[in-house]
Structure 1
């Protein structure tokens, strides 16, 4: 029986990747590092800031990585002033709430970003459980963030569905044992299925999603 929906944030609740790409490009330009869509997809999307800056600036100490990460996130929050929920998201949340299906957030983003984005999207206080990068010892692709969310919800993996847009996020959700939809804001359906997605959707209005939801609630 379906008891919870668990969402990633960037690229899942909202198509925010173009803003993140622009923020990384602005912050790293003084270091002579070019950030384009290919680099963003291969090196950045879904990874922790720790891993991202270690790979892009391997010649710098950890302290500089942390400083650049803070600057990038502040830049993102400055740029992310006109965010809109992904199509169908608000209807899905309302559908879940009227049926007593709980909703949770699991993101590699820092708390400041999560609060900023949820407020901008009109989703503040909509998620019963919110797991940000500060709350776990290991971020995605480790399953720990999802396992932590399941523990706080008090349910098993077979009682929830996850939504992810990145390879690291999908690997984390599947390693935690969750039935998972890949949201196609950055990857193709084939790419999502290759990394383990049980289904792939363009928006939250996709009939493939609703077929699974109706089946899982016993209709």
Structure 2
């Protein structure tokens, strides 16, 4: 049986908004200032962990260096305060893609590892606020299965019903694992990590850039079950 797509679920930073170079730089700076740890391995780890909640990334670094993990909230506060003050731009053709989704009647949802309020502000500042039906940030629930469950409930569907009508866009392995664990068709966008990392994490399809999704035949896209 084939089911037509009704819902688009997407990560924001690194997928629609060109944010990961800034986020990675700030992550490394915060680790250095707060712990004294300075290593190119920090940036490499954070990039490879794209899609993993930031508090978990900080926790991993502290644990790896045998430092107390109770410092995570302080690192998160500095990280968030810094990245929220930066200026960002959309990836090329991201707005055109969102316009296409709206003309087709798809509901567009954002799940983010950043704060809901600042990300709503970011949507507005980069000009895509009108195209987004709902945004969930980590301050509501940590980015993970709960976000997908909430979106399904919002639409009056079971998780399985919602997943079978949804496509998920993300730029990191963590995004792909989240999508696949929830049963969504996972599209990896290789703007942050190597395409092979997205495939290994379960991506059903990998695009080089978010704008490449404009070339897909969305009118005929169906999920087979």
**Shorter-chain TM-score tier:** 0.7 to 0.9
CA positional deviation for 1:48: 1.7
Instruction: Tell me, yes or no, if structure 1 residue 154 matches structure 2 residue 146.
Output: no
CA positional deviation for 1:117: 2.3
Cα separation, partners in 2 of 1:40 and 1:149, compared to 1, 3 Å: same
TM-score, with normalisation over the residues of structure 1?
Answer: 0.86
Matched residues in 1 for 2:62 and 2:82: separation?
A: 18
Q: Which residue of 2 aligns with 1:69?
A: 76
Q: Which residue of 1 aligns with 2:143?
A: 139
Q: 1:203 aligns with which of 204, 209, 218?
A: 209
Q: Kindly report the root-mean-square deviation, in angstroms, between the aligned alpha carbons of the 2 structures.
A: 2.2
Instruction: Tell me, yes or no, if structure 1 residue 10 matches structure 2 residue 17.
Output: no
Give the SS at the match of 2:90: coil
Give the SS at the match of 2:187: strand
Gap regions ≥5 residues in structure 1: none
Check whether the contact 1:129–1:152 (CA below 8 A) recurs between aligned residues.
no
Matched residues in 1 for 2:211 and 2:95: separation?
A: 10
Check whether the contact 1:170–1:182 (CA below 8 A) recurs between aligned residues.
yes
CA positional deviation for 1:119: 2.6
Instruction: Tell me, yes or no, if structure 1 residue 27 matches structure 2 residue 14.
Output: no
Matched residues in 1 for 2:214 and 2:194: separation?
A: 16
Q: 1:90 aligns with which of 78, 87, 95?
A: 95
TM-score, with normalisation over the residues of structure 2?
Answer: 0.83
Matched residues in 2 for 1:113 and 1:208: separation?
A: 28
Greater RCO (CA < 8 Å, at least 6 residues apart)? 2
Check whether the contact 1:201–1:208 (CA below 8 A) recurs between aligned residues.
no
Matched residues in 2 for 1:91 and 1:154: separation?
A: 29
Matched residues in 1 for 2:39 and 2:151: separation?
A: 32
Check whether the contact 1:48–1:108 (CA below 8 A) recurs between aligned residues.
yes
Deviations 1:29-71 (A, max 9, x none): 22222264312224x5222232122122232352x31021011
Q: 1:60 aligns with which of 55, 68, 77?
A: 68
Moved over 3 A (4+): none
